[in-house]
Amino acid sequence: MPSLYVHYLPQFCAEHDLADVAVVVIDQLRASSTVCHALAAGAKDVVPFVEVDAVLAAAGDYDRSQVLLGGERGGELIPGFDLGNSPSDYTPDVVFGKRILFTTTNGTRAINHARLASRVIMGSAVNLSALVDELLDEPVVHVLCAGTGGHVSRDDLLIAGALADAFAARGEWTLNEGAQATRGEWNELVTSAKAYGRSLDAQLALELRETPGGKNLLEIGHDEDLVVCAMIDSKPVVPELDRGAGCLRL
């Protein structure tokens, strides 16, 4: 029977435990969602970096018309960068055909943590069903939640739970404790949506406002990003790390 493991934070799971298995990195607010938007909008690829300085150094190797520098620190645009981390900034007119050199506080760190995996795929509400279709035949899937500032963030857990629920609905999967618990959280969200007559997108957007990652974004005026990131299946793409090339692409 295939197995699904959910890890609440990178530090709860050793890098070697992710070696040679498929890993879904979830940074719901917002790195995973933004990567999906960028690639769905026709960006050539997204190169993840842990550090800002590494992006600035790498940018020097390119003709600047070919690349865009994107990401955030403290949720805000990084000085000298072209784009922040709002998914809706990554539109075809801005990113089509471009390589995005990308760094975020937690998301690109989580990608780095999974670098020994056989597959590293970015997961978010916006590509949920596409992810499930892509991974259903894997014998083992690990879900790595990025967290916020080193702490567990419920925005990631909800999407991990939605994945666990979707896998369980499509076949017999063994779910670890984290997968069972997050599935429970997701099912509570679904129950609330029904009770209040809201769509799942609307309920998710509402609940994201109460999460640590969501509160940070509200404080700096990125309310709209919560709505965009909660649009389930709005970007049905599967960004996967090409380990040889060091970039995320479709």
Closest to ligand MLT by CB, 184 or 246: 246
Q: What is the DSSP letter of 125?
A: G
Residue whose pair of structure tokens reads 């600035």 in the numeric block: 56
Among 22, 27, 38, 130, binds ligand MLT (CB under 6 A): 27
The continuous run of DSSP H or E covering 71 comes out as strand 67-71
Among 43, 69, 105, 207, binds ligand MLT (CB under 6 A): 105
Residue 124 engages ligand MLT in binding (rule: CB under 6 A): no
Nearest residue (beta carbon) to ligand MLT:
104
Q: What is the DSSP letter of 78?
A: P
The continuous run of DSSP H or E covering 160 comes out as helix 154-170
State the minimum distance, in angstroms, from the CB of residue 52 to ligand MLT: 12
Residue 31 engages ligand MLT in binding (rule: CB under 6 A): yes
In one-letter notation, the amino acid at residue 171 is G
Give the bridge partners for 23, in sequence order: 120, 142
Taking CB under 6 A as the binding criterion, the range among 28-36, 38-46, 59-67, 135-143 that sits at the site for ligand MLT is 28-36
* Residue 180 phi, psi (nearest 5): -65, -45
Site residues for ligand MLT, 191-210, by CB under 6 A, read none
Residue 104 engages ligand MLT in binding (rule: CB under 6 A): yes
The continuous run of DSSP H or E covering 140 comes out as strand 140-145
Site residues for ligand MLT, 33-92, by CB under 6 A, read 72, 75, 85
Closest to ligand MLT by CB, 104 or 234: 104
Closest to ligand MLT by CB, 107 or 123: 107
Residue 211 engages ligand MLT in binding (rule: CB under 6 A): no
Conformation bin of residue 214: beta by default, left when phi > 0, alpha when psi is -120 to 50: alpha
Residue 29 engages ligand MLT in binding (rule: CB under 6 A): yes
Q: For strand 3-7 and strand 45-49, is the pairing parallel, antiparallel, or unpaired?
A: unpaired
- Cα 111 from Cα 24, distance rounded (Å): 9
Positions in the binding site for ligand MLT (CB under 6 A): 27, 29-31, 72, 75, 85, 104-107, 146
